[in-house]
Structure 1
Amino acid sequence: MDQGRAVTWARKIFDDLAEPLAREIPRCLIRAHQRARDGHQGVNTHTLEAYGHGLYAAQYEELVSGLEGLPGAMPVRLQGRTVMVISDHVFYPLRYAKRDVPVTQARLRRTTGFRADLIRRHGPEPIQEQLDLGLEELYVAEVHRDLLRLSPETRLVLLAYACSMERGVMRLEWGDAELRHDDRHLLWHHHEPLLLPEAGKPG
């Protein structure tokens, strides 16, 4: 599959690794969806708890399985999950919707917590500087302790995707985004679509 149009931003960062990453990441998340769907069907519940919890766990496992063989890939444990660091960039999956809506509508459930800290600490520099209210030391002191396992220079790549049990992975983009304090909405600096294998099946 030609991923050339999907890696303009990423090629500047990952060079020759951009296209292998662009091919493998969609396959990983589709496999995660398939595992979660199979788990839901196995327990045969009327709710989607099994699917949701299964997808959350499987997304990390499949990304590790798919990316660990790439040159320089290094696993790091964050909040009980293993994520991959490649070329000093940490890859973090984010299921932002259960329907096919643009990634620009993505937002977090909470303004605080691990994900918010991860984005604020390792995302891009804010487009607009925030007012200096003397709170910087407070934010640093409250940062999630697991993030200390990452170098301060490590940058974050968000793998933002829309997915449902019925339709599978409908949309997948990667990029970097900032998250202002007390705000759940992501402000994307870069985001590019990753092409999904035909019919939603791993290629």
Structure 2
Amino acid sequence: MSDALSASPWARTIFGSLAAEVAAIVPTCLVRAHERAHGGHEGVHTQTLEAYGHGLYAAQYEELSAGLSQLPGVELVRLQARTVAVVAGHVVYPYRYAKKDVPVTAARLRSVSGLRADLIRRHGPDPRQVELDLGIELPDEDEPHADLARLSPDTKLVLVAYACSLAEGVVRLEWGSAELRREDRSLIWHHHEPLLIRWQR
């Protein structure tokens, strides 16, 4: 899988000669994150899914940063107490958008503020539609999350969006670039494509 020709044209544009390796590492890491969270849930024997949810949230960052750090030139950055990898000038950021197999185009953030929203606004693609000037005084945007100062201003964002549950594991996995629509917290994807889920619980 080290042959860059096995990666998509978009991935090669983003990651260059590392594209095929990144495309292989990301799914493997997220499946491992699910398995760790699944094991944590079984270990505490709770009736709720708290252990799984919190475990998956932490493990997704740990697995991705550990897996991608093996590649040449990767920079590790701490954002809100989580380590993320910057590969070829692109921060690879995981986002579990659903617990069941629904299209990634249905993804919606919980909030238009906070690190994830600021990351998409500051490092995602430019909006496709310019906001109309209606002559109305709008409130100024809040200052971006302080941790974003740890990223170079020209760093771009690759969102790794996935649907995953305790019972089914990772059922859908895509990556791409998206902007955040403030009105309804939905993502407007400029590009998204599936990643092959190689092995699973």
Q: Which residue of 1 aligns with 2:13?
A: 12
**Any conservation in 2 of the 1:113–1:144 contact (CA below 8 Å)?**
yes
Q: What is the distance in 2 between the residues matched to 1:84 and 1:183? A: 29
Q: Which residue of 2 aligns with 1:29?
A: 30
Please state whether the residue corresponding to 2:113 is helix, strand or coil.
coil
List alignment gaps of at least 5 residues for structure 1: none
1:143 equivalent in alignment to 2:147: no
**Any conservation in 2 of the 1:3–1:195 contact (CA below 8 Å)?**
no
List alignment gaps of at least 5 residues for structure 2: none
- Greater helix proportion: 1
Please state whether the residue corresponding to 2:91 is helix, strand or coil.
strand
Identity of aligned residues (%): 64
**Any conservation in 1 of the 2:7–2:19 contact (CA below 8 Å)?**
no
The normalised TM-score by structure 1 is 0.91
Extract structure 1 runs of 4+ deviating beyond 4 A. 1-6, 132-136
Please provide the CA RMSD for this pair. Answer: 1.9
Which residue identity does 2:56 align to in structure 1?
L
Q: What is the distance in 2 between the residues matched to 1:3 and 1:165? A: 33
Which residue identity does 2:82 align to in structure 1?
R
Q: What is the distance in 2 between the residues matched to 1:62 and 1:14? A: 19
Which residue identity does 1:74 align to in structure 2?
E
Which residue identity does 2:31 align to in structure 1?
I
Which residue identity does 1:187 align to in structure 2?
I
Please state whether the residue corresponding to 2:41 is helix, strand or coil.
helix
Please state whether the residue corresponding to 1:151 is helix, strand or coil.
coil
The normalised TM-score by structure 2 is 0.92
Q: What is the distance in 2 between the residues matched to 1:6 and 1:107? A: 28
Q: Which residue of 1 aligns with 2:165?
A: 164
The structure with higher relative contact order (CA 8 Å, sep 6+) is 1
Q: What is the distance in 1 between the residues matched to 2:125 and 2:107? A: 17
Which residue identity does 1:76 align to in structure 2?
V
Tell me by how many angstroms 1:70 deviates: 0.5
Please state whether the residue corresponding to 2:185 is helix, strand or coil.
coil
1:82 equivalent in alignment to 2:83: yes
Tell me by how many angstroms 1:181 deviates: 2.8
